[in-house]
Amino acid sequence: MLTARQQDVLEFIRRFMTERNRAPTVTEIAAGIGIKSRGVAYRYVKAIEQAGYIKTIAGKQRNIRLRHNYKNQILGLPLMGKLMAQQPIKSVTEQDFFNINTMLLKPNRFLLQVGDETLRICGIFEDDFIVCELLHEANTGDIIVAIIREQITVLRSLQWNSDGTATLSLPFTHAQPEVYASNQIKIHGVYRGLFRLTTKTAGAAT
C-alpha cells in the first residue's frame, strides 16, 4: 500500500509520461511535487518500484517505466484515520492510500451482487457487491461461495473436518453451522472483500 505522498509521486510520473511521452528525471520529480531534495524523490521512486507500480532501467537517465497494469489512472482514496466508538477519529501517522487496483483488481477476481436480505444477519445487505477470487479449492477459515447439492448457492465460512466432511456457517455470526459431505459442496470462489454503494444525498430521508 502506498502512502499518500508516494501516490502523489506515482500520479506525477504517470501524468508526466502521458503528456510528454517520456519519463521524468529524479530532479523533475522533485520539482514537480514541490520538494528540493533529489534524495527524497529518489527514495519515493524506489518505494514505488518495490510496491510493483514501476520499474527502473539501470544506465539510463530517464529510466522509469510504468508497469503495464498501472498505465491507466490509478483508482483509490486516501486513508485518513480510524473510526472508533465514542472517540475522535484516530489519524494515521503517515497517510496511506487505498489503491483499488492493487487491493481488489487482481487476477481471477469477480463480483457478485447480493440479491436479497438473507445475509443481513452477517452485515451484508441486498445490492452489496461481494469481491471474490475464482478458486475451486479453499482452506479452513476461508469464506467461500459454494453450490450445495447442486441446488443452492451460499456464502459460508468453511471448516474441513477430519472425517472428510465440511462444516459451513454464516460468516461473521454465531449462527448454527451445518455439516455436509465434501462431495456435496462445489466451491466457486473465495470471498476477498465487500463494498456498498449508496445513492442517498445529504439531507435525504433515511
The domain that contains 169 carries what CATH number? Answer: 2.10.109.10
Contact 104, 131 (CB under 8 A): yes
The CA-to-CA distance between both ends of the chain, in Å, stands at: 35
Residue-number span of the structural domain to which 179 is assigned: 109-195
User: Do 40 and 114 lie in a common domain?
Assistant: no
User: Do 119 and 92 lie in a common domain?
Assistant: no
Of 84, 105, 126, which marks where a domain is finished?
105
Strand-pair partners of 159: 167
Looking at every residue in the chain, the average pLDDT score rounds to 85
User: Do 91 and 163 lie in a common domain?
Assistant: no
User: Do 178 and 88 lie in a common domain?
Assistant: no
| Residue of 28 and 87 predicted with greater confidence | 28
Count structural domains, the chain.
Answer: 2
With cut-offs at 50, 70 and 90, classify the pLDDT of residue 61. Answer: confident
- Report d(CA 66, CA 178) in Å as an integer: 48
pTM of the predicted structure, to 2 decimals: 0.59
User: Do 164 and 87 lie in a common domain?
Assistant: no
- What percent of the chain clears pLDDT 70, i.e. is strictly above it? 83
Going by the DSSP 8-state scheme, the letter that residue 88 receives in this structure is -
